[in-house]
Amino acid sequence: EQLANQIAAGEVVERPASVVKELVENAIDAKSTQIDIYLEEAGLKKIQIVDNGEGIAAEDVSQAFKRHATSKIYNQADLFRIRTLGFRGEALPSIASVSKVTVETSSEGEVSGTRLVLVGGKMERHEKAALRRGTKITVEQLFFNTPARLKYVKTIQTELANIGDIVNRLALSHPSIAFRLFHEGNQMLRTSGNGELRQTIAGVYGVQTTKKMRSIEAKDLDFTIRGYVSLPEVTRASRNYISTIINGRYIKNFVLNKAITQAYGSKLMVGRFPIAIIEIEMDPLLVDVNVHPTKQEVRLSKEAELVTLLKQSISEALREENL
């Protein structure tokens, strides 16, 4: 029961970026290797996600839009052990209740696909459709029936920046998936999906920036750290370019972010931050995700040990440059 409440508190369809995040996470969970995102008006008019994942079987499609209809996992500790990003079974019904959703999907072995159209959560159409590999989900007229939420939506530029930030992080934490992001037909992001973190970073931050990044590597009994950090001359005016990924999941942790910046010491100008993509593997039991409903903020056991290891690995990478 408590778990159910914690789960319900995680309700997160506040803005276009949260819709994109939930839908892309579903595509990732479905083992897609290619995920394409098409936006109009920063998602307010249209968000379309096309994946090549496992799809949803005809008999399960309408069920997926019912509350708590997760096909995934059941408790908090499982969260960092099992690699699915979703677990609440809330995203699809929540999104559908505040927009017009069209889903076209089919799963392996089926002879035809399924198309579902829901408006404001109400099923308008449920029919056979052409067979396709994976799922195509289209969200239109977001918040058309919830003017209160529309009020919180910021400018197109701000909403688009938020979406870009989230898709970047999802791409950086999944180098084996090829991502493409388009806004009004213009390509904003493309990653190769060949499994190489370095190439994914190049797709997100550009080849020139990536050339000015150095790899880090460290391991002790509890943690394995891998990733890339920028040279001190390549900095940004915000922490948004620091991505920390624990067991395949992008997380937020103030202490780790601070440690990364501190590792640069006086090489960093005030108000400037490095670009860093840090992958950490650890026993899921050392991660407490029960901090915030978005599952992004985590508390770590042995945090001090991790901080020391992280700082060491970054200073080493920078020292090799004889800076």
For the beta sheet containing 122-129, the strands, ordered from the edge strand earlier in sequence to the opposite edge, are: 122-129, 113-119, 100-106, 134-140, 46-51, 34-40, 178-183, 186-190
Residues 27-86 that bind Mg ion (CB under 5 A): 86
Cα gap 132→210, rounded to integer Å = 36
Q: Among 12, 64, 166, 201, which residue interacts with ligand ADP (rule: CB under 6 A)?
A: 64
CA-nearest of 186, 168, 165 to 177 is: 168
Residue with tokens 């370095």: 198
Q: Residue 126: which residues within 8 A CB-CB, separation 6 or more?
A: 61, 62, 114, 115, 116, 117
Q: Least Å distance between CB 210 and ligand ADP?
A: 30
**The Cα angle at residue 277 between residues 276 and 279, in degrees rounded to 5:** 140
Is 6 or 238 the residue whose CB approaches ligand ADP more closely?
6
Q: Is 106 in the site for ligand ADP (CB under 6 A)?
A: no
Is 239 or 248 the residue whose CB approaches Mg ion more closely?
248
Q: Give the pair of three-digit tokens for residue 266.
A: 């006086």
Q: Least Å distance between CB 4 and Mg ion?
A: 16
How many residues touch ligand ADP under the rule CB under 6 A: the total is 22
Q: Least Å distance between CB 22 and Mg ion?
A: 5
Residues 4-63 that bind ligand ADP (CB under 6 A): 22, 26-27, 30, 51, 53-56
**What residue number has its CB nearest to ligand ADP?**
86
Task: Confirm if 196 and 227 have CB atoms less than 8 A apart.
Answer: no
Contact footprint for ligand ADP (CB under 6 A): 22, 26-27, 30, 51, 53-56, 64, 69-72, 86-92, 135
